[in-house]
Amino acid sequence: MEAKDRKMDAAKRKAIEAAGWKVGDTADFLDMNDDERQLLDTRVALAMAIRQQRAVSKLSQKQLGARLKTSQPRVAKIERAASDVSMDQLVRALTAAGGRIVIKFGKTKATKGKKKPTKAKKADTVILEVTTSK
């Protein structure tokens, strides 16, 4: 289940907010800026894809660890996107489990600053597409 799919019941949310509590996600709690939030979302998406690909490939964490030349507990940390797991380790784990990463380049209109939308320059966008085999 993706984080987006886990929405709080509206009545429960209203009751919590009425009691003086603030409702938000991890990024809100950690006061992350947009760049940090995007990095966290990417790390979590990769970790979820690794777990899914490992299951599809019928690999145990120990077997994936052997492919990565690491331990089963380290694979568990990779699948949780723990803070001490690098992006390199996440990418290597996904590919070792049989997944693929496709990088696409595109252009999007820049939205920063007070420039008029008609004169906005195009900014490079990199789309990281993670695919798992089934």
Q: List, for residues 5-60, the tens digit of each pLDDT value.
A: 557 788 888 998 899 988 887 778 888 898 898 888 899 999 999 999 999 999 99
Is 18 domain-assigned? no
Count Cβ neighbours within 10 Å for each residue of 95-110 and write b for 16 or more, e otherwise: ebbebeeeeeeeeeee
Question: Which CATH number belongs to the domain containing residue 57 in this structure?
Answer: 1.10.260.40
In the predicted structure, residue 108 carries a pLDDT above the cut 70: no
Check if the beta carbon of residue 131 is closer than 8 Å to that of residue 100. yes
CA 69 to the chain's CA centroid: 24
| Residue 57, domain extent | 24-131
Number of domains in the chain: 1
Is 96 domain-assigned? yes
In the predicted structure, residue 97 carries a pLDDT above the cut 90: yes
Task: Give this prediction's pTM.
Answer: 0.68
Is 13 domain-assigned? no
Check if the beta carbon of residue 120 is closer than 8 Å to that of residue 111. yes
Is 1 domain-assigned? no
